[in-house]
Amino acid sequence: MKIKGLLIIVICMIGLSGCTSKGFDIERVYQFVEIQSSNGKEIGTIVNSDDLEFFFEEMKFQEWKYIEEKEDFGKCIYKFIAYEFVKDDEEYYIREDPYELYKVDDNYYIIQDSDVISIPKSAGQFLNSIENKITITQPISEDILDNWENRIVNNTDSSYGTKKKTYNDETIVSNITKIVISDEDELDIKIDNKEEITAFIEGLDTDSWSSIDDIPNDAILRRNISAYSFRRRTKEKVLTTMYTIMLYEASNNEYFISETIPDNGTQDGDYIEYYTIPKSVADFILQTE
């Protein structure tokens, strides 16, 4: 079962050969743009595909020019960060391109790292009044990035491509803060010791799982297992769900797993997969106390 992922916008422009402009990489795929105030506080996020297309068109990249002058630009007006979920040789990572907007007299500039870029006045005016020019959602970049990082840990691409079962990987185990096992009655088991978490993950023996299209209709839910980690980039220790595993038993004594990686408030939708598992793995889960 595959859920539709984030809408993405590919920025393609014609006649760019020989262009000396710098700035946003217009050949890249950006899934969303975070907008921050001058003090770094997130104002909102651009995620809608039409709004992203409009945003990048108004930037007028072909007219951006790199300049040598390093004058004092004072305080920036806005900060923009364009994000892309990248798959490269079966590896996944997050690319982020930050840009700061400045105005000196009637001229507008973008500073990207140590580069200074002169941009058209119309583009600068558009960015300077961005909050009135385009639909901006409430700040959700943190949720999207948490979601992406969970998928990197689980080796899952942002459009829900092939998923490798690597729960035993040290990276995953190191990110898990707590595991909670429950059922429809009063069972409530909490595992928050690192050694016990590692032992439980190893006991799942995910290499023995076989992917299937769905779970039989007569299957009964036996256990609900949720793995949690602390949300990144926040000072407060806020737990977020990494994934949820539901163990089912069918009438013929076969066992199945429904695995969900939640979207955590993004527009991705949940990633869901179904598996058949050996009885030995089901026994291990059922006997965990």
Res. 92: pLDDT tops 50: yes
Report how many domains make up the chain. 2
Same domain for 108 and 199?
Answer: no
149-180 tens-digit pLDDT:
776 766 554 443 334 444 544 545 667 888 99
Closest CA to 101 of 116, 119, 79, 123: 79
Same domain for 129 and 224?
Answer: no
Q: What is the pLDDT of residue 21?
A: 40
Same domain for 131 and 150?
Answer: no
Same domain for 93 and 123?
Answer: yes
Same domain for 270 and 163?
Answer: yes
Amino acid at 22: K
The Cα 115–Cα 89 span in angstroms is 30
Residue environment code for 142-165, b if the CB has 16+ CB neighbours within 10 A, otherwise e: bbbbbbbbbbbbbbbbbebeebeb
Of residues 187 and 123, which shows the higher confidence score? 123
Give the position of tokens 């506080």.
41
Same domain for 150 and 134?
Answer: no
In a domain, 231, yes or no: yes
The Cα 27–Cα 195 span in angstroms is 45
The mean pLDDT of the chain is 76
Amino acid at 281: V
Of residues 190 and 252, which shows the higher confidence score? 190
Same domain for 87 and 154?
Answer: no
The mean per-residue pLDDT over the stretch 233-254 comes to 78
Which of 93, 115, 139 terminates a domain? The answer is 139
Cβ atoms within 10 Å of 195's Cβ, excluding its own? 8
Q: What is the pLDDT of residue 177?
A: 83
Q: What is the pLDDT of residue 224?
A: 93
Of residues 70 and 204, which shows the higher confidence score? 204
Res. 108: pLDDT tops 90: yes
The mean per-residue pLDDT over the stretch 190-204 comes to 89
In a domain, 2, yes or no: no
% of the chain surpassing 90 pLDDT? 23
The mean per-residue pLDDT over the stretch 196-224 comes to 90
12-53 tens-digit pLDDT:
332 333 333 444 454 457 788 999 988 888 888 888 777 888
Of residues 116 and 12, which shows the higher confidence score? 116
Indicate which CATH number applies to the domain containing 191. Answer: 3.30.1490
44-61 tens-digit pLDDT:
888 877 788 888 889 888
Indicate which CATH number applies to the domain containing 96. Answer: 2.60.40
pLDDT band at 282; cut points 50, 70, 90: very high
Same domain for 20 and 127?
Answer: yes
Same domain for 129 and 215?
Answer: no
Q: What is the pLDDT of residue 120?
A: 94
Which of 107, 139, 171 terminates a domain? The answer is 139
% of the chain surpassing 70 pLDDT? 74
Give residue 80's domain range.
9-139
Of residues 265 and 75, which shows the higher confidence score? 75
pLDDT band at 100; cut points 50, 70, 90: very high
In a domain, 4, yes or no: no
Are 46 and 33 in contact by the 8 Å Cβ rule? The answer is yes
Same domain for 151 and 282?
Answer: yes
Which of 94, 119, 139 terminates a domain? The answer is 139
pLDDT band at 4; cut points 50, 70, 90: very low
Q: Kindly report the pTM of this predicted structure.
A: 0.49
Are 23 and 61 in contact by the 8 Å Cβ rule? The answer is yes
Pairing of strands 115-119, 91-104: unpaired
